[in-house]
């Protein structure tokens, strides 16, 4: 979904109520013209972007000079929107000294396992969330600027993760392929204080209201989120991609946060790991819009800024917003947890007296193996060794109950003549 991608952050203003040729302050032109030389309009010199070699696996990570947490990050599992695999994002985060990273793909948790495994190996703390697509009437493919608005949700803990997964599943089942259907009131009833709501990208409820109706409309939308989710669970998000009007929008959002009484964080709304990923992101945008790069050119942003940055870079970019960098790091730390804490909640099941789930699974497997391979012996030694190994792994992962449930389902289907594929 290109909606919150960088290729749609600059153009298409008229879609959300702006004049196609808005008045741009001189400070914005100055900033854009001077940024490439490493200077900001406020005179701050930015350090060159480091590109170190990856450390050897046994090399311990040293604390970054400036801590940073990236709380808004799309992987390639935001199909035709994110341009980097989860492992690439984690590797670049490690290079840049980013301590905490959130994966927030569109309407799903598809990439969380790969992301969590890579982050665990790299020593990076993980936050899990999703960007929910609201008010959709059609699939998002086939148009340069998809419809709808966004709600960025971070899970505070495993319970928040489960609640978010359930909300996404319900929306996907209620809708159709590429068009989940959410109800904002239902989401508010489901969170139970276990989510953090960020105002998000230009498609977010508050930034979209700001674009369409100015500060009064944005303030009203921000207060509505507070009424729905609670002030302690709503946070204004600042995003700076070096696009026209980024500074003006961020200044307004920062002021509104103080007036309404909610926190402020920043993100880079990451869609590719490094600046080099911009070209691939443009190709994906064209594929999603089912058009050519030449025809999409007018919709693509002038600056490709949606990549991971170091804490030092972000400190320079956030200098005009006191405390935002520190608040971002604190929120990342507060929401971070390991994916291994997410365990499936299996339904209750009965096993014969004297058996546990594990022992009853072994009994069932032994009977099935004897029927399929015959009794243990020289000719079946390899098969039985593999079975023993797999049972050991299943027990180590505490999954015997899952296999017993699958067995019960497949046996029912077999008795009733229902085609069934057990996995």
Please check whether residues 389 and 308 belong to one and the same domain. Answer: no
Cβ(10)–Cβ(305) below 8 Å: no
CB 270 within 8 A of CB 306: yes
Residue 91 maps to a domain? yes
Whether residues 14 and 81 fall in one domain = yes
Does residue 337 lie in a domain region? yes
pLDDT number for residue 199: 98
Lowest mean pLDDT across 25-29, 130-134, 203-207, 223-227:
25-29
Q: pLDDT over 70 for what percent of the chain?
A: 84
What pLDDT is attached to residue 371?
A: 93
Q: 125-134 and 149-155 as β-strands: parallel, antiparallel, unpaired?
A: antiparallel
As for how many domains the chain has, the answer is 2
Per-residue confidence (pLDDT) for residue 290, from 0 to 100: 82
* Same-domain status, 63 and 13: yes
Phi and psi torsions of 12, nearest 5°? 75, 25
In sequence order, which residues have a C-beta less than 8 Å from that of residue 239 and are 6 or more positions away? 72, 201, 246, 250, 266, 267, 268, 269
Q: Between 20 and 247, whose confidence is greater?
A: 247
Residue in the block written with tokens 């008045």: 23
pLDDT in tens, 203-214: 999 999 999 999
Is pLDDT at 10 greater than 80 in this prediction?
no
Average of per-residue pLDDT across 116-138: 96
Pair 277, 376 in one domain? no
DSSP-assigned states of every residue in 287-305 = HHTTS-HHHHGGGS-SS--
- Domain harbouring 94, CATH code: 3.20.20.140
Backbone angles phi, psi at 311, to 5 degrees: -60, -35
Residue-wise pLDDT for 325-340, tens only, equals: 999 999 999 999 999 8
pLDDT digits (tens, 9 = 90+) for 152-163: 999 999 999 999
**Which of 311, 341, 371 is the endpoint of a domain?**
341
Could you list the residue range(s) of the whole structural domain that residue 22 is in? 2-341
pLDDT band at residue 15 under the 50/70/90 scheme: very low
Say what the alpha-carbon torsion angle 263, 265, 269, 272 is, to the nearest 10 degrees. -150
Is residue 238 situated within a structural domain? Answer: yes
346 lies in a domain? Answer: no
> What does pTM read for this prediction?
0.75
Q: pLDDT class for 289, splitting at 50, 70, 90?
A: confident
**Gap between the Cα atoms of 361 and 369, Å rounded:** 12
* Integer-rounded Cα radius of gyration of the chain: 25
What is the per-residue pLDDT for 48?
A: 52
Whether 181 and 253 map to the same domain: the answer is yes
Q: What is the DSSP letter of 84?
A: S
pLDDT in tens, 47-69: 555 554 544 544 556 778 899 99
* 34 occurs within a structural domain: yes
The DSSP secondary-structure symbol of 129 reads E
Query: In this structure, are 332 and 366 located in the same domain?
Result: no
What's the token pair of residue 374?
A: 């015959």
Q: Which of 306, 341, 376 is the last residue of a domain?
A: 341
Phi-psi category of residue 290: left, alpha or beta, with phi > 0 → left and psi -120 to 50 → alpha: left
Using the Cα atoms of residue 66, residue 71, residue 73 and residue 77 in order, give the sign of their dihedral: positive
Q: Do 324 and 380 belong to one domain?
A: no
- Out of 83-92, 253-262, 399-408, pick the least confident: 399-408
User: What is d(CA 190, CA 195) in angstroms, rounded to the nearest whole number?
Assistant: 9
Q: Please, which pLDDT band fits residue 202 given cuts at 50, 70 and 90?
A: very high
Sequence-separated (6 or more) residues with CB below 8 Å from residue 415: none
In a domain, 25, yes or no: yes
Confidence of residue 18 (pLDDT cuts 50, 70, 90): very low
């Amino acid at each position: 979904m290109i909606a919150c991608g960088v290729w749609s952050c600059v153009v298409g203003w008229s879609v959300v109520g702006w004049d196609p040729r808005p008045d741009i302050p001189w400070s914005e032109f100055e900033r854009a013209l001077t940024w490439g030389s490493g200077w900001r309009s406020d005179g701050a010199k930015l350090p060159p972007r480091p590109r170190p070699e990856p450390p050897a696996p046994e090399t311990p990570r040293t604390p970054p000079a400036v801590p940073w947490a990236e709380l808004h990050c799309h992987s390639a599992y935001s199909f035709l929107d994110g341009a980097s695999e989860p492992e690439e994002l984690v590797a670049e985060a490690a290079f840049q000294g980013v301590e905490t990273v959130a994966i927030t793909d569109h309407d799903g948790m598809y990439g969380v396992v790969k992301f969590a495994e890579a982050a665990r190996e790299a020593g990076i703390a993980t936050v899990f969330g999703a960007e929910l697509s609201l008010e959709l009437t059609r699939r998002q493919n086939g148009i340069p600027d998809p419809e709808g608005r966004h709600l960025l949700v971070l899970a505070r803990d495993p319970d928040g993760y489960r609640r978010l997964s359930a909300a996404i599943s319900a929306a996907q089942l209620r809708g159709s392929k590429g068009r989940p259907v959410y109800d904002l009131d239902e989401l508010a009833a489901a969170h139970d204080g276990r989510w953090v709501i960020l105002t998000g990208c230009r498609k977010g409820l508050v930034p979209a209201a700001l674009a369409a109706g100015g500060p009064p409309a944005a303030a009203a939308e921000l207060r509505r989120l507070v009424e729905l989710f609670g002030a302690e669970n709503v946070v204004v998000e600042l995003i700076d991609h070096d696009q026209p009007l980024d500074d003006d929008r961020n200044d307004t959002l920062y002021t509104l946060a103080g007036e309404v009484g909610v926190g402020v964080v920043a993100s880079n709304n990451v869609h590719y790991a490094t600046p080099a990923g911009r070209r691939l992101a443009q190709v994906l945008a064209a594929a999603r819009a089912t058009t050519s790069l030449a025809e999409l050119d007018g919709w693509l942003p002038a600056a490709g800024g949606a990549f991971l940055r170091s804490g030092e870079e972000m400190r320079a970019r956030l200098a005009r917003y006191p405390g935002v960098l520190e608040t971002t790091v604190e929120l990342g730390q507060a929401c971070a947890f390991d994916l291994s804490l997410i365990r499936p909640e299996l339904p209750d099941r009965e096993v014969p007296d004297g058996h546990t789930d594990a022992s009853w699974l072994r009994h069932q497997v032994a009977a099935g193996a004897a029927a399929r391979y015959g009794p243990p012996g020289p000719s079946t030694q390899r098969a039985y060794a593999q079975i023993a190994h797999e049972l050991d792994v299943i027990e180590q992962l505490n999954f015997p109950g899952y296999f017993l449930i699958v067995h019960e389902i497949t046996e029912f289907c077999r008795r009733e003549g229902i085609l069934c594929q057990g996995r």
